[in-house]
């Protein structure tokens, strides 16, 4: 079936070429369900299991939305762990390689903050990191989110399990209210419904059930 082809999406020729090079020919089910809505600017609650291609489901709309000529943080991705933040950064960089100079900075705990501040000073389009360290950089004024167009909560259920809700609240309070907010989660506990109500605007719910 060709209905899951990336070709039908409003993506730039540069991104289409990168997807071809990466052998991304068909969208995964969560991508097919999320991408048309996210590219149309909708807020989303997207539920699908691990390994289903959720990173591209938010990275492609983010790369489409941002202006590479403007050196401001336009996308912020919150992840539960450093390992996941590094994986997300890697995937965004792969998908961004057809663009000139999209800078992605990873901000996680467990490593010195000084070099992270230096990276931010040089300018970043996208920040990926864990809530606590991002909060630290906001508190110190090293990170500014006034130009943010898209906020992504990746593995939101895990972030809640790990007790990051206060840090997330703090970070979101520093984001412009006019923004697109995408929430990705494997499960949908009450806490997720609550943050969706608080942080999102008329979110569309997209669920890919596990098939056994
Ligand atoms: P999730 O966040 O849902 O756990 P990932 O975004 O990490 O999943 O994707 C899992 C793997 O699938 C990655 O190696 C990614 O490069 C690959 N992938 C994602 N989308 C596609 C696609 N449409 N076609 C082929 N491979 C894909
Ligand atoms: Mg993921």
Each residue's pLDDT tens digit, 150-161: 999 999 999 999
Q: Which residues surround ligand 1 with Cβ inside 6 Å?
A: 24, 26-28, 31, 50-56, 91
User: What span, in angstroms and rounded, lies between the C-alpha atoms of 126 and 103?
Assistant: 6
pLDDT at 191: 94
> Per DSSP, what are the bridge partners of residue 125?
none
Structural domain contains residue 34: yes
User: Is residue 1 a part of any domain in this protein?
Assistant: no
- Does residue 187 belong to any structural domain of this protein? yes
Q: 31 alpha carbon to ligand 1 midpoint, in Å?
A: 9
Asked whether residue 212 is assigned to any structural domain, the reply reads no
The burial of 121, by beta-carbon neighbours within 10 Å (0-12 exposed, 13-18 middle, 19 or more buried), is given as exposed
For residue 56, give the ligand nearest its CA: 1
pLDDT of residue 210: 74
CATH number at residue 16: 3.40.50.300
pLDDT of residue 98: 81
Q: Please identify, by atom number, the ligand 1 atom nearest to the C-alpha of residue 94.
A: 16
Atom of ligand 1 nearest to the CA of 31: 23
pTM for the whole structure: 0.97
Test site for ligand 1: of 8, 33, 46, 53, most ligand atoms within 8 A of the Cβ = 53
Looking at residue 100, its pLDDT comes to 72
- Residue 129's domain spans which residues? 6-207
Answer yes or no: is 94 within a domain. Answer: yes
Per-residue pLDDT of the chain (212 residues; tens, 9 = 90+): 446 999 999 999 999 999 999 999 999 999 999 999 999 999 999 999 999 999 999 999 999 999 999 999 999 999 999 999 999 999 999 999 987 789 999 999 999 999 999 999 999 999 999 999 999 999 999 999 999 999 999 999 999 999 999 999 999 999 999 999 999 999 999 999 999 999 999 999 999 987 65
Q: How many domains does the chain have?
A: 1
Q: Does a structural domain hold residue 111?
A: yes
């Amino acid at each position: 079936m060709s209905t899951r082809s990336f070709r039908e999406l409003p993506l730039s020729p540069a991104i289409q070429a990168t997807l071809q090079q990466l052998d991304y020919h068909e969208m995964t089910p969560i991508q097919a369900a999320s991408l048309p809505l996210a590219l149309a600017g909708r807020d989303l609650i997207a539920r699908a299991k691990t390994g289903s291609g959720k990173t591209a489901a938010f990275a492609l709309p983010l790369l489409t939305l941002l202006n590479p000529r403007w050196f401001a943080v336009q996308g912020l991705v919150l992840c539960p762990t450093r390992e996941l933040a590094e994986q997300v950064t890697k995937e965004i960089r792969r998908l961004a390689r057809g663009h000139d100079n999209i800078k992605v900075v990873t901000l996680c705990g467990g490593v010195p903050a000084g070099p992270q501040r230096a990276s931010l000073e040089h300018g970043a389009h996208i920040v990926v990191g864990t809530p606590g360290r991002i909060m630290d950089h906001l508190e110190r004024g090293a990170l500014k989110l006034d130009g943010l167009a898209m906020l992504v909560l990746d593995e939101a259920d895990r972030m809640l399990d790990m007790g990051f809700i206060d840090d997330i609240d703090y970070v979101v309070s520093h984001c412009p209210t006019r923004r697109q907010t995408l929430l990705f989660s494997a499960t949908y506990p009450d806490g997720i419904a609550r943050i969706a109500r608080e942080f999102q605007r008329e979110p569309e719910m997209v669920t890919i059930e596990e098939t056994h």
